[in-house]
Chain A
């Protein structure tokens, strides 16, 4: 009885929410939705300045001068960089957000049915992670500056949040549908692997970043090993624990 009442009230809440205008609804969307186009991540004026500034990053790095150059390119003044309250971090954030959102268009997987061999979720994650790392290529010689800014106490929280969104995006695009506690561990481990590989990549001088690719493969392999070991350990503990209890019960213990 109680459960139906709860269900009823929650149903009413959902219905009330769906009556609200679509615009307000869209702003509240915190999940991937196929029904609504996502609003652009930056307002138009900010986006214009940031995208113009982004093209100056290879030469001028992640600095306030880059932002000023971008503002001048779009017909704004030096002072207009005040439109970006977090300054250079907004430029870094622009890189992070646009490259994350570009991932769904830049990486295409063949249809599962038509493909000769179905691609596993793990392989998809590897492909997507590599694609995201390769998107850093134009700015990689300046990326350590960006990492230093992201490590400033004020910007740690938004940077980590963006990393979590990236890990979530990669798992979502690779078609992962887990709904158990592994949802969390998958995202946490991928975040750790991605960030360490990115740091490795800033020092990688090999042609076409083959060493970075190898580093990523090694870490993913470590993950499967550790995952397998933890899974095995859990199974062993579970079995041993149950057997021990059963042995005690057979000896007459009241458990």
Chain B
């Protein structure tokens, strides 16, 4: 009798301890509840209409850029290993597929020599490509597959820490001090340093969901692209299969912040990451946004990767 009572007491104690330990833990259900229960922070009447979402939080527009900047500054150094952990390495396959599909570079042997005045190579603008993941792949593909030594990539990122990471990494590639690779700190909504109709290919990989004004960024992309130029976007999207979606949601809301905490020592940044993925518009919605910006979309407008975890969206500026 005595022993059973102490056992029960210990169990209760254990349970309460566990509850205490679990208090700061934010799983999907908690954050949903938070999003529903917490009324959006008291807004003054003038900033009422100009709010945006930061993950599941609603914040003033002016703050989003700053908060996103803080997130990426804190993850810059561990960005690549974190991506590997979170996507089980699949993000490399997506990026390879993305670049191979775009087939950048102009083969000097097969392209007709009829117009020698024409520009050699492509002019590529890689937005939000701070660490150079896409840029190096583009240049590699152009050089080795299409024998094109002229294609240039301008890497633009709003975050100096990510750019520094990319510059550091570029030292291990053959493009470090060549004129083919350039780093620019820029906001995708105001690309003043890029002239109108000057870009062949505008790419943005896993970046557009962090933009405060996606429409403004699309308009700006339309402006800088040459007629016939291509807007290509690789971004997380919506999973189509409900069963797989359930598994995926468990993974992203339970595992990813935990991995972020263990590997990068930064839970909140990765919590933002998964929340911003959940907030991003679905394939058809985003494809319609691209159409609304004036682009022609090829076929249905997007290509699902791994059941829709990510998707490639493309738009062509009409000539």
Binding site for B on A (CB under 8 A): 43, 45-46, 64-65, 68-69, 71-72, 74-86
Tell whether, in the assembled complex, residue A64 and residue B103 are in contact, meaning their CB atoms are under 8 Å apart. Answer: yes
Asked if B130 is an interface residue, CB under 8 A from chain A, the answer is no
Contact residues in B for A43 (Cβ distance below 8 Å)? 296
Contacts of A71 in B (CB 8 A): 228
On whether the beta carbons of A79 and B296 are closer than 8 Å, the reply is no
Residue of A with least CB distance to B109: A65
- Contact check, B298 vs A75: say whether CB atoms are below 8 A apart: no
By a CB distance below 8 angstroms, the chain A residues around B298 are 46, 82-85
Whether A79 contacts B102 by the Cβ 8 Å rule is: yes
Contact with A along B96-116 (1 / 0, CB 8 A): 000001111011001110000
Check B303 for interface membership: any CB of A closer than 8 A: yes
Q: A43-B296, A45-B296, A77-B226 are in contact. Are A82 and B319 (CB under 8 A)?
A: no
Q: Distance (Å) between the CB of A50 and the closest chain B CB?
A: 12
A interface, over-half SS: helix
Q: How many Å lie between the Cα of A74 and that of B318 in the bound state?
A: 11
Bound Cα distance A183, B10 (Å): 78
Given that A75-B319, A80-B316 are known contacts, is A85 also in contact with B228, CB under 8 Å in the complex? no
> What CA separation (Å) do A69 and B112 show in the bound complex?
8
Which among A46, A75, A82 has the highest number of chain B CB atoms within 10 Å? A82
Q: Is there an interface contact between B316 and A45, defined as CB atoms closer than 8 Å?
A: yes
CA distance A72 to B228 in the complex (A): 10
Which residues from chain A contact B229 at a C-beta distance below 8 Å?
77, 79-80
Residues of B within 8 A of A (CB): 101-104, 106-107, 110-112, 122, 200-201, 226-230, 232, 296, 298-299, 303, 314, 316, 318-319
A78 to B201, CA, bound (A): 10
Pair B299/A85 contact, Cβ less than 8 Å: yes
Residues of B within 8 A of A81 (CB): 103
- Of all chain A residues, which has the CB nearest B318? A45
A78 contact set on B, CB distance < 8 A: 106, 111, 122, 200
Complex formed: what's the CA distance from A99 to B262 in Å? 61
Q: Please, which residues of chain B bring their CB within 8 A of the CB of A68?
A: 111
B232 and A82 within 8 A (CB): yes
CB-CB under 8 A from B228, the residues of chain A are: 71, 75-77, 79-80
CB contact under 8 A between A79 and B201, given known A45-B296, A65-B110, A71-B228: yes
Q: Which of B111, B227, B314 contacts A82 (CB 8 A)?
A: B314
Cβ 8 A contact of B230, one of A45, A72, A82: A82
- The minimal Cβ–Cβ distance linking A93 to chain B, given in whole angstroms, is 12
> Whose C-beta in chain A lies nearest to the C-beta of B105?
A78
Report B147 CB to chain A, min CB distance, Å.
13
Q: Which 6 residue pairs of A and B lie closest in terms of their CB atoms, listed nearest first?
A: A76-B228, A77-B228, A80-B228, A85-B299, A75-B319, A83-B316
Chosen A-B contacts, 18 in total, with CB atoms closer than 8 Å, are: A43-B296, A45-B318, A46-B298, A65-B107, A65-B110, A74-B319, A75-B227, A75-B228, A75-B319, A76-B227, A76-B316, A77-B226, A78-B106, A79-B122, A82-B298, A82-B316, A85-B299, A85-B314
Residues of A with C-beta under 8 A to B227: 75-76
Evaluate whether A80 and B230 lie within 8 angstroms (CB atoms) in the complex, with A65-B110, A68-B111, A75-B319 already known. yes
Tell me which residues across on chain B come within 8 A of A74, comparing CB atoms: 319
For the complex formed, measure the closest distance between the CB of B245 and the CB atoms of chain A, giving whole angstroms. 25
In the complex, the answer to whether B200 meets A77 with C-beta atoms within 8 Å is yes
Query: Judging by beta carbons under 8 Å apart, are A80 and B319 in contact?
Result: yes
- Other than the given A45-B318, A78-B122, 17 more pairs (CB < 8 A) read A45-B316, A65-B107, A65-B110, A75-B228, A75-B319, A78-B106, A78-B200, A79-B104, A79-B122, A79-B201, A79-B228, A79-B229, A81-B103, A82-B230, A83-B314, A85-B299, A85-B314
